[in-house]
Structure 1
Amino acid sequence: MTTPALPPLDGIRVVDLSRVLAGPFCTALLADAGADVVKIESKAGEDSRHLGPFRDGESIYFNVLNRGKRSIALDLKDPEDRESLLQLIADADVVVENFRPGVTTRLGIDYEAARARNPRIVYASISGFGQKGPMAGAAAYDLVVQALSGVMSITGTEESGPTRLGESFGDTITGVFAAWGISTALLAARTTGEGQHLDVAMFDSMLAMLPTAHSQLQASGVTPKRVGNRHPVSTPFDTYRADDGLFVLAIASEKGFQTLARTMGREELITDPRFMEDALRTENEPALRKEIEAWAAGRTVAQVLELLDAAGLAGSEVWNVEQALGSEQARYRGVVESFEHPAAGTVSYVRQPVVFGESTRPAVRRSPLLDEHHDEILGEARAR
């Protein structure tokens, strides 16, 4: 019988100086993959301990984002505490911070200070606009980055105006890119023995998530516009109305459209000059929508989806967050886990979603109380 492999980041020590969302999301992903994440907090606690939503006085937001970590509170302006931090870095593999550019230099804990203690350190700096550049010092929140990246300009409808995505994706996708960059740099460090400084910007990360819009702009020279739930290029690819609600239909091929027309009992649509290719269907989208919704009228969403599924076409209900998290699919995949917290009670979270072959999944570890592991962490540092 083959012995299961250890978690991919087993043995990796991460010193986490980050706060609120992008950085803690990154380090939570690393903890999910087996890394030992040491969270450095101020004496008052990391900012998100004081952000809602709350339950029994505990921030659920903080506890979800800081699962699997250990906490130590240090005053980084105090020379003794700063030296304790540098001792931790000396034996770590990774540092993650998301202070404004220049703050770590003023505190004496920047990449150069870390590298002087540990040449193989991978030091990730997360910021709104990068460590250098015309906007490097600008304040950045998710809303600001969504607005400046262009993603809001293509989200919503003409009537709604620019619309923020329904989650803080500017932060979370930056956390994903930071975790990817850290893992890549750790591989390089294993080969060369040298670490490096990673400059991860929210603005850059959001731009990297716009391949369709960027392609449209290059191909036509026309700035992409808001099209609601529609796909900007392919049709039919949208939400449509049945008798008891909305359903999603996603077709991006000629074969798929032909199958849809036959499923609808409207084979003549295949040779209709308005719909004979994808670009024409997109140009005549209102007319095609009328045909699809006329077919769906008199049918429930479930009945429509049964017909689409039988034809091998992609369609679905529109689930809310509760339905998605509680779905049989989510349960089967095991993506939602939970832990018991001494103050907040049962806290559920969505673990990092990649299945690493036969590697064992790290045991679930709850989020830490403030400074809970102070003596334990410093004792480990002194023992080395």
Structure 2
Amino acid sequence: MEGGLMSMPSVGALPLHGVRVLEMVDKAEMCGRYLADLGATVIKLEPPEGSPSRRMGPFHDGVSISFAVRNANKQGLTLDLADTTDRGRFEAMLDTVDLWIESTAPGSLASVGLSIAGLRARHPRLVVLSVTDFGQTGPYRDWVGSPWVHTAMSGCLSRSRIGDQYPLMPPAALPAEAAAVQASFAALVGLWNAMETGMGDHIDFSLLEATGQILDPAMGMAGTASAGADVGAAAATSARQRPVLDMYPVFECSDGFVRVVLLSPRQWRAMRSWLGDPEDLMDDALDAIFTRFKRVDEIRQHISLLFKGKSTAELVQEGQSRGVPCAPVLTLGEVIAAEHYVQRQAIARCEIFTGLDAKIPTGFVEFNGRRLGIRMRTPDVGEHNASLLAELTDGRATGAPVATTGAGGRRPLSGIRVLDLGVIVYGAEIGRLFADLGADVIKVENRAYPDGARVARGGMMNANFASGHRGKRSIGLNLRSDRGKALFTALVAESDLVLSNFKPGTLEALGLGYDTLAQVNPGIVMVTSSAMGSTGPWARWMGYGPLVRCASGLSSLWRYPEGPSAFADGSTVYPDHYAARVMAAAGLAALIARRRTGLGAHVEGAQAEAILVQLSELVALESLQPGAVSAKGNYSDEGAPWGVYPCAGSDEWCVITVRSDEEWARFCDVTGLADLGDEPALRTTAGRLRNRERIDARVGTWTSNLDPRAVQHLLQAAAIPAGAMARVTELEDDPHLSAREYLKKLRQPGFGPLTVQNAPFFSERMDPPRQVPAPEFGEHTREVLTEVLGLAPDEVQRLIEEGAAEEGTERR
């Protein structure tokens, strides 16, 4: 890394060393960046004039910061695919890489003689990842999208708001960056399967579906943060409702804001003690979160009085010491200066583009204690043409070897055994990703310390838990007993991956840290995640998603600009699902490295730092132009009209994002706003941005007389990105999502059919997930101990009687 501020592993020590990727995209560029961070050689293929994404803001001294932060660690190559010679070079390049990532419109490459089917036939070992707005199939296949359109159509926008205010678009590039990380995971699953079978694949990746699965999923694991609400519970209420309850209140103090998250009875009682045990709050019924919701105004009044006049620093220090989960709502300027991130080198100054230095989040994860971050600045257009094209003739580039042979039509992670210690939302989600794709995921549990998601409704099974842990097995072990720990380490010897999101130091205190487990099994990969990281002043904070959002600067941006305290992220579940994809990709990369080295690894991640990487362009901009970054609401400087517009009916909205002068001309034509199209001052993006308010007023008047889906279909027919804001209850009836089987039914014993999300991508050669019920507590204890460890039934019985192993009271 430029400037020497970080100690980076040698290239050969990086997990994806030897993997070569050809990236031909102008969307989801962070996908290739993450693979490059993990050690892959990523070749950025652009047309001779450079990628359109080089011309996207924000800018500093004429440089696109957004392009610079998403294309670090890559090499630059230019080819003109309309040219016969360059098409030949392109095909030769495909012979040297393991993965080709492309984002062209479905079927468009065939017009220059490069159909994906034909290329796959000529390069059968190649994995092709096609990243498109809506996927390769379905009624919307040829529609055009944008991150804002995907957010609206996926149902996420309908849950981002306060009370009855207008729906607020999540800040920055959050939807696109979340989808890009899922694309990285899809790429690595494809590579793993190719290494297992000796054959390549074509992976169909939809940005719409990824946004809905990660940003704030409508279906699936909602977690303790939503009080264990049953999956699909929204369907029991009005289909047109949106959430109005802010479960994570923010309180003003002398120098800013502090958020408090009170989920468990223990946390509530700690807060009550801090308040001085006021008489009117001594009712034991307030231990129940739903009772506290009913008396929220009374409780908040007490906390507001306590916090008034005190600083964020003293409140957070005392709250955390008392066992009250809380965090300061930081601005990006405060994040950049925060001692915690400085000590962890989570943000550092480096050269991100030729001649441009900025402070920037340094990377997603740590690998064996070393951060995998930026090693090379973003390349200039065609910077590495000479060396890359020379490789095509001297035979040096041959790609990473593909290992074994086998047939297609398989669940790609079959044969991998995972010990899953994860809890709540993130913990459920990362293990489920592996289980859905065929891994044997064994959830390790203990009755004395149950997963909070299990007991959120007072029992050991609920629909929320079922959706997050489907497809897993459950074993009960007492890890605080010597015999229970011995059983766990014996399982480690027979496993590939250990997943945990306990507070830092917990496993080490149990004598089950990575160093100990690696002695048992040198090939074990341990993936640990925490809120703030395992080191630094904030490492021991109690952390939930709402607090991580505050401490990373996200909450300060996710608010209505009309009010300094109007934070709109209070009803979302973030970043758990996103962080799970970050760490799943890193864990799979470590397993790929093990094929080469025979050694496992310890992969660590901090959820706050995963968010920081998503905010990279804004962190860099704030470091270069202090004070430039603030909450923008639904304003964007990418174009005009570009926003969330009211439609006919109650609380109906449609997103429109006009990206170019050509789209503007078509927009004016199909909407009947020809007088605007005739104005010379509005024929350029710069001119439209100067007249944004007048354009928005006219567009809003036009949309307010139309159904949002009428606007969506009319504009999409003219190839203009537009999407109606969908509700959760409408997703099952969407013709495109139905055609692509976006949702599936899970049949969990004791419950009716539960609606859950289906595959994170589609593939020619990999089978989709099977919907297998979640386990009861300890349901598979006997099965795992006999099948995996070879213990005799009578020995297992003794272990259960001794309390080293546990099983549920109910057996299916």
Q: What TM-score do the two structures reach when normalised by structure 1?
A: 0.89
* C-alpha displacement of 1:330: 2.0
Unaligned regions of 5+ residues in structure 2, if any? 1-8, 223-228, 396-812
1:282 matched to which residue of 2? 293
CA distance in 2: counterparts of 1:380 and 1:347, whole angstroms: 33
Deviation at 1:363, TM superposition (A): 6.9
Q: Which residue of 1 aligns with 2:58?
A: 53
Tell me the alpha carbon deviations over residues 94-149 of structure 1, each in whole angstroms, 9 at most, x when there is no partner: 11111222223333334323323322212111111111111111111011111111
Q: What SS does structure 2 have at the residue aligned with 1:173?
A: helix
2:616 aligns to what? Answer: none
Shift of 1:338: 4.5
Aligned to 1:187: 192
Match 1:67 to one of 72, 76, 80? 72
Match status 1:144 vs 2:149? yes
- Which of these residues, 60, 68, 93, is aligned with residue 98 of structure 2? 93
Residue 272 of structure 2 is aligned with which of 261, 271, 277?
261
1:225 aligns with 2:248: no
Does the Cα contact within 8 Å between 1:339 and 1:365 map onto a contact in 2?
no
- Looking at structure 1, the residues matched to 81 and 40 of structure 2 have their Cα atoms a distance apart, in angstroms, of 24
Task: Tell me by how many angstroms 1:371 deviates.
Answer: 0.9
Instruction: State the alpha-carbon separation in 1 of the partners of residues 310 and 116 from structure 2.
Output: 62
1:124 counterpart = 2:135: no
One-letter amino acid matched to 1:256: Q
Sequence identity percentage: 25
| Residue of structure 1 in register with 2:375 after alignment | 364
* Equivalent residues, number: 374
Q: CA deviation at 1:211?
A: 4.2
What secondary structure does 1:275 align onto? helix
1:162, distance to aligned residue in structure 2 (A)? 0.6
Look up the equivalent residue of 1:260 and give its one-letter code. Answer: M
Q: Secondary structure at the match of 1:286?
A: helix
- Give the CA deviation at 1:341: 6.0
Task: Give the direction of change, closer, same or farther, for the CA distance of 1:96–1:269 in structure 2 (3 Å limit).
Answer: farther
Give unmatched runs, 5+ long, in structure 1: 232-236
- Tell me the equivalent position of 2:757: none
What is the aligned partner in structure 2 of residue 114 from structure 1? 119
Cα distance in 2 between the residues matched to 1:376 and 1:199: 31
1:42 to 42, 47, 65: 47
**Secondary structure of the corresponding residue to residue 366 of structure 1:** coil
Give the corresponding residue for 1:250: 261
Deviation at 1:192, TM superposition (A): 0.9
Partner of 1:375: 386
Letter of the 1:381 partner, please give it.
L
Closer, same or farther: CA 346–244 of 1 in aligned 2, 3 Å = closer
- Equivalent position to 1:355, from 366, 387, 390: 366
**In structure 2, C-alpha distance between the alignment counterparts of 1:136 and 1:226, rounded to whole Å:** 31
Aligned partner (choices 172, 177, 197) of residue 182 of structure 2: 177
Equivalent residue, structure 1, for 2:594 = none
Corresponding letter in the other structure for 2:266: K
Match of 1:291 among 302, 306, 326: 302
Following superposition, the deviation at residue 213 of structure 1 comes to: 6.4
Within 1, Cα distance between the matches of 2:44 and 2:114?
Answer: 15
Q: Secondary structure at the match of 2:88?
A: helix
Query: Once the 2 structures are TM-superposed, how far is the Cα of residue 38 of structure 1 from its aligned partner?
Result: 0.8
Give the distance between the partners of 2:140 and 2:146, measured in 1 at CA. Answer: 13
Contact 1:339 1:364 in 2 (8 A): no
Structure-2 change in CA distance of 1:369 and 1:17 (3 Å): same
Whether the 8 Å CA contact 1:91–1:118 is kept in 2: the answer is no
C-alpha contact (below 8 Å) 1:14/1:93 kept by paired residues: yes
1:248: Cα distance to partner?
0.9
- 1:358 deviates by 5.5
- Which structure's CA Rg is the greater one? 2
CA distance in 2, matches of 1:307, 1:30: 41
Go from structure 1 to structure 2 and tell me whether the alpha carbon gap of 1:335 and 1:304 turns closer, same or farther (over 3 Å shift): closer
Contact 1:6 1:360 survives alignment (8 Å): no
Q: Which residue of 2 aligns with 1:12?
A: 19
* 1:9 Cα deviation after fit: 0.7
Residue 145 to residue 195, structure 1, CA distance change in 2 (3 Å): same
Aligned mates of 2:358, 2:40 — CA distance in 1: 21
Cα separation, partners in 2 of 1:301 and 1:333, compared to 1, 3 Å: closer
The alignment yields a C-alpha RMSD, in angstroms, of 2.4
The alpha-carbon distance between structure 1 residues 278 and 84, as it changes in their structure 2 partners (threshold 3 A), is same
Question: Is the CA contact (8 Å cut-off) linking 1:154 and 1:225 kept in structure 2?
Answer: yes
Question: SS in structure 1 opposite 2:364?
Answer: coil
AA in 1 matched with 2:261: A
